[in-house]
Amino acid sequence: MENFDIIIIGAGPAGMTSALNCLRAGKTVLVLEGESFGGQIAFSPRVENFPTYQQASGAELMDKLYEQISQWGARIELEKAERVERNSDGFTVFTDYGTYCCTSVILATGVKPRHIGVEREEELIGSGVSYCALCDGAFYAGEDVAVIGDANTAIQYAVVLSGYCKHVHVCALFDRLFADKALIDVLNSKTNVSVRYHMSLKEFIGDDELCGLHFEDTVTGEQINVDCKCAFICIGQQPSNKAFENLVELDQAGYIVADESCATSCKGIFVAGDCRTKSIRQLATAAGDGSVAAFYACKYVDEVTAKK
């Protein structure tokens, strides 16, 4: 059974930044990724808020990071981590293809936006369907856009978008908004925002690019079309942490509990990126987490090694 100093589960910006810093510290590193490299940001057609390039696609940035950790000697496997167990020397990671041992683990599994489940949703991601107004909103300055959702994130997105979009349509499924009152008050002060309730999305309108949405009123049955260049879907996120609940503490929403040191409730396991409890989830904060988690994981490995 192969043994590594550190196993990193997840190859998004947090996981690969962790790998880079662990490798630079002279540690042996295995990176496991169950789906595709790069995380959510890899699907963003343009990134303009990350310190380096004026503009680049998320895929380009993640390709560069992948090349960087490869050149530093990371072992990278496209395998899904199914569970982690503590053993006498550290941890054993079981994947859908094999089993590996290590002294420390960094969990960087990220989150997935909840999809609305309407036909052509996947096809239009990056062409009028988005899950992050902070990432993609500026590309629709001066356009009509829609926000689908009714809680804090949706209302925050609508407020941000109202600053540079021509009009923002907030489409809520239920009969009210579930956001904080202060946020709703701010939203109601915006003259270029309209809110409609009982809106159930039935169809994305447009060929190669989105140009509108088709809804049904869940109370009256009325069929409603909303013209827009982008639909920001904000109906929640899903952390991918259930496989590790036997070892680390999760909050009620399923996020791994950790502070700014990125240490979890289990000694030797660290967490980085969107899968942990935090208030801001962006590319830059994921990379920051990756650096912090790597520092403390390397420190832990050094302490364990010194005791042997």
CA 139 to chain centre: 20
Cβ-contact 256, 275 below 8 angstroms: yes
Cβ-contact 229, 211 below 8 angstroms: yes
**Position 249, amino acid:** E
- The structure's pTM equals 0.74
Strands 230-233, 129-130: pairing kind: parallel
Cβ-contact 43, 125 below 8 angstroms: yes
Residue 163 to residue 152: CA distance in whole angstroms? 17
Rounded to 10 degrees, the C-alpha dihedral 272/278/281/285 comes to -50
Which tens digits make up the pLDDT trace of 20-44?
Answer: 999 999 999 999 998 888 887 887 6
* Phi, psi at 156, each rounded to 5°: -60, -45
Q: What is the pLDDT of residue 295?
A: 98
Cβ-contact 252, 168 below 8 angstroms: no
Grouping H, G, I as helix, E, B as strand and the rest as coil, residue 285 is: helix
Grouping H, G, I as helix, E, B as strand and the rest as coil, residue 101 is: strand
Which tens digits make up the pLDDT trace of 143-182?
Answer: 999 999 999 889 989 999 999 999 999 999 999 999 989 9
Q: What is the pLDDT along the chain (308 residues), one digit of tens a residue?
A: 899 999 999 999 999 999 999 999 999 999 999 888 888 788 766 777 788 878 888 889 999 999 999 999 999 999 999 999 999 889 999 999 999 999 999 999 998 888 999 999 999 999 999 998 878 999 999 999 999 999 988 998 999 999 999 999 999 999 999 998 999 999 999 999 999 999 999 999 999 999 999 999 999 999 999 999 999 999 988 898 989 999 999 999 899 999 899 999 999 999 999 999 998 888 999 999 999 999 999 999 999 999 87
CA angle 213, 214, 219 (to 5 degrees): 130
Grouping H, G, I as helix, E, B as strand and the rest as coil, residue 231 is: strand
